[in-house]
Each structure stands twice: as C-alpha cells, then as structure tokens.
Amino acid sequence: MLKTIDLRSDTVTKPSQLMREAMMNAEVGDDVYGEDPTVNLLEERAAKIVDKEAALFVPTGSMGNQLAIMTHCERGVEAICDSLAHVYHYEMAAAAMFSGVQLHPVDNLHNDLGLGNLKDHFRDPQSFFPRTRLICLENTLNRDGGTVMRPEQMAAVYRLAQEYGLSVHLDGARIFNAALYLQCDVTDLTAYADSVMFCLSKGLGAPVGSILAGPKDFIAQARRNRKAMGGGMRQAGILAAAGLVALNNTALLIHDHEKARHLAAELSTVPGLKIDLGKVQTNMVMVETENMTAQEFVEKLSAQGVLVGTAGKFTVRFVTHLDVSMEDIQNAVEIIKEVVAYKNA
Ligand code: TLP
C-alpha cells in the first residue's frame, strides 16, 4: 500500500510514546483556579526559556497572537505587521473581529528594505488617522518560506518602537527554528519584543498548545482575556505535560532543516519547478510551478500519496517535521520527479 508522506505542515505530527506517557501520568488540577501543577510548571519553564517574567498556556498559536493584540491594544487603533504575516493572512480577520484593531501591512518589514521605511507607516496622531499602537513581527516568516529575521533587524524595529511609544509582539510560532538557523540563543531574538508567542504543536511535536509570554501584568490581563475568549481550560495539565516534553525537542529541529535542504536541492534540479534556495533556511520549501497551477500539482501529488499545500496560485509549500524521515523525503522526491516529468512530456 502507498505510504502517505505528509508535508503539508509541521502541525501534522502525532504525539510520541514519551509524550503519551507523560500525558497519561500528568498531575492535574483546575487551571482556571490556577491549581494545575503541570500547567504552572510549563508556564514557568516557558517564561524562563524566552526570558520573560510570565507565560500563559493557550490552546493555539492563533489565540496567543490574538490575545497579544487584544491585550496590547485598545479598540480602534492600528497594529503594523509584515504584508506576509500570519496574523494578516491566516487568522480570519480576528484582530478586527475580537479586538477592533486594524492591521496595517507593510511590505518587507522583515528585511532591511522595509525597515528603512517603517517610520513612514507610523500614523500622525494630530490628524484623523487611526493611532498606531503595536508592531507584530513574525520569526520565522511562514508565508515567505520560513525565512528568519536577524536579531539586528529585530533590534532596529524594537528601538524605533520604543522611541515612538509602541509595543512589539513577536509571533514566534517557529522561533526555535529561527534561533537554530541563526546559531543564537532564542533569548537573543525574544529580547526585542515585549510579548512573544511560540508554538509547542509545530516542529516541537506536541498535539496541542502554544505559549504567550511577557511582563507579569500583561500576562495577568491576557489571562483574563483568555477566559473571556472561552480559552480557560480546566485539567489542562494533560496537554501541558506534552508541552513539557516538546520543550526538550528543540535540538531535533536540526534534522527538519537538513531534510528541507535536501528536498530543496533535489527539486531545484527538476525542469518545471523553481526554488529560491537562499530562502530555504529552516523547515520549509516554497516551490514555484511553471507548467501547472499549484492546485493541480497538489492534486497530482496527493494521488501519489505526497501531501503538500498551496501558498499561492503557482506556489506550493513543503514542510518537514518529526514524522517524516530522510527516506520519506527521498521517496517524495522520486514521486515529484515522475509527476513533473509526466506533465512536461
Ligand atoms: N500556521 C499554519 C497555518 O495556519 C498556515 C501552518 O500550517 O503553518 N503563527 C504562525 C507563523 C503560524 O505558522 C501559525 C500556524 C500560527 C501562528 C497559528 O497557530 P495555530 O495553528 O496553532 O493557531
């Protein structure tokens, strides 16, 4: 039987045996009363890892980002983000829906090109413009193919934000991938944001869960907002236990990066496919299709057991993770070559 090779996202991993055992044995309590020892331990450890005063366990990365926006901003203000940002493209306009916040996308915010113009996007408070209140960064930048933002770039944004009295939130869903690529400590990146969200349920392999970290009073308010959003979980230690195991998986991400590099190198030689190898920095590969649409390519691969996702009309996204081996990647490469050769013939 055809073995499915699922490269749609690093969210598809299934919890390891170790995680399942940790979940089964977790000590739990009612977290809404602050009485779940496993959640408390996860929040304490997570805060330390990103060097923030406090942390909050949330069900999803989206909720973490949205709580950050809700907690940093009053209604009717603007939050600046990269025009490729997850908060802008993939969170169902939640900032508008739940926080009354308008997102203000800026091209190339993540590289030196956009950084030079960032100040021009801050609104003049003397006019009828909405007030600028927050800058959301994303590292790695998903829609750009998992590219990293260097600490110097983050520092430049942070300095400017401080100068203008703005807050900075970091969507660090894959911040450990960024730190690994940059060969720096994760705190060298999180230092340049007031709040940070990171995901346990992506490359780190937990079934559920993300962390929002920041100053104590900010997290206290975010905790109230989480409850208002229906995210106050009870015996959530069952899930936090998997999160604690996931925190030990950061060193494994190196294999995901190797697999992505291998996949990209192989596919870059295939006529009909185009890859910017310079952007293959972490666990994603963006492939441009020349002779068919992304949707057609996805369907043809899916029929052969290789699952991938579209990221544009002619762009397909491949994501490596814990549950695909180098052998799976090699098998996927052979299948892709056949599918493309058939189409080119
Ligand atoms: N990203 C998912 C999809 O939503 C696109 C994926 O498969 O990559 N920030 C970033 C940078 C993300 O990539 C994601 C998930 C989130 C936030 C949201 O996390 P969840 O899915 O837990 O809400």
Give the C-alpha distances (Å, rounded to integers) separating 74 from 71, 77, 167. Answer: 8, 6, 12
Ligand 1 atom at shortest distance from the alpha carbon of 9: 7
From 6, 8, 10, 11, give the residue whose CB has the most ligand 1 atoms within 8 Å, as the site to mutate: 11
Q: Are 28 and 176 in contact (CB under 8 A)?
A: no
Residue where a domain stops, chosen among 250, 275, 292: 250
Looking at the structure, tell me whether residues 95 and 107 fall in a common domain: yes
Looking at the structure, tell me whether residues 169 and 90 fall in a common domain: yes
Residue where a domain stops, chosen among 250, 279, 304: 250
CATH number at residue 47: 3.40.640.10
Looking at the structure, tell me whether residues 225 and 335 fall in a common domain: no
Looking at the structure, tell me whether residues 152 and 101 fall in a common domain: yes
Give the whole-number percent of the chain exceeding pLDDT 70.
Answer: 100
Looking at the structure, tell me whether residues 164 and 99 fall in a common domain: yes
Phi, psi of 16 (to 5 degrees): -70, 170
Terminal CA-to-CA distance of the chain, rounded, Å?
A: 27
At residue 125, does pLDDT exceed 90?
no
Q: Could you tell me the pLDDT band of residue 320, with boundaries at 50, 70 and 90?
A: very high
- For residue 154, the surrounding DSSP H or E stretch is helix 151-163
Looking at the structure, tell me whether residues 294 and 329 fall in a common domain: yes
At residue 113, does pLDDT exceed 80?
no
Give mean pLDDT, residues 29-35: 98
Count of the separate structural domains present in the chain? 2
Digit-coded pLDDT (tens) for 184-221: 999 999 999 999 999 999 999 999 999 999 999 999 99
Q: Which of 30-34, 111-115, 125-129, 142-146 has the lowest mean pLDDT?
A: 111-115
Give mean pLDDT, residues 36-58: 98
d(CA 178, CA 146): 8
Q: In the prediction, which pLDDT does 27 show?
A: 98
Q: Could you tell me the pLDDT band of residue 225, with boundaries at 50, 70 and 90?
A: very high
Looking at the structure, tell me whether residues 157 and 303 fall in a common domain: no
Its sign, for the CA torsion 292, 297, 299, 300, is: positive
CA-closest candidate to residue 88, choices 154, 123, 136, 134: 136
Q: In the prediction, which pLDDT does 231 show?
A: 97
At residue 123, does pLDDT exceed 80?
yes
Q: In the prediction, which pLDDT does 343 show?
A: 74
d(CA 290, CA 170): 35
Query: Does the bond joining 293 to the residue before it have cis omega, within 30 degrees of 0?
Result: no
Q: Are 164 and 170 in contact (CB under 8 A)?
A: no
Looking at the structure, tell me whether residues 241 and 175 fall in a common domain: yes
d(CA 336, CA 300): 9
Give the C-alpha distances (Å, rounded to integers) separating 48 from 42, 133, 186, 269, 338. Answer: 10, 27, 11, 44, 48
Looking at the structure, tell me whether residues 193 and 279 fall in a common domain: no
Digit-coded pLDDT (tens) for 132-151: 999 999 999 999 999 999 99
Residues with C-beta less than 6 Å from any ligand 1 atom: 9, 11, 60-62, 65, 86, 90, 138, 142, 171, 173, 199, 201, 210
Give mean pLDDT, residues 50-63: 98
Looking at the structure, tell me whether residues 115 and 216 fall in a common domain: yes
From 91, 137, 142, give the residue whose CB has the most ligand 1 atoms within 8 Å, as the site to mutate: 142
d(CA 122, CA 271): 44
Phi, psi of 269 (to 5 degrees): -95, 0
Q: 190: domain range?
A: 17-250
Q: Could you tell me the pLDDT band of residue 1, with boundaries at 50, 70 and 90?
A: low
Looking at the structure, tell me whether residues 135 and 273 fall in a common domain: no
The mean predicted confidence, pLDDT, of the chain is: 96
Looking at the structure, tell me whether residues 178 and 281 fall in a common domain: no
Residue where a domain stops, chosen among 215, 250, 285: 250
d(CA 345, CA 333): 18
Q: Are 172 and 210 in contact (CB under 8 A)?
A: no
CA-closest candidate to residue 271, choices 295, 289, 298: 289
At residue 126, does pLDDT exceed 90?
no
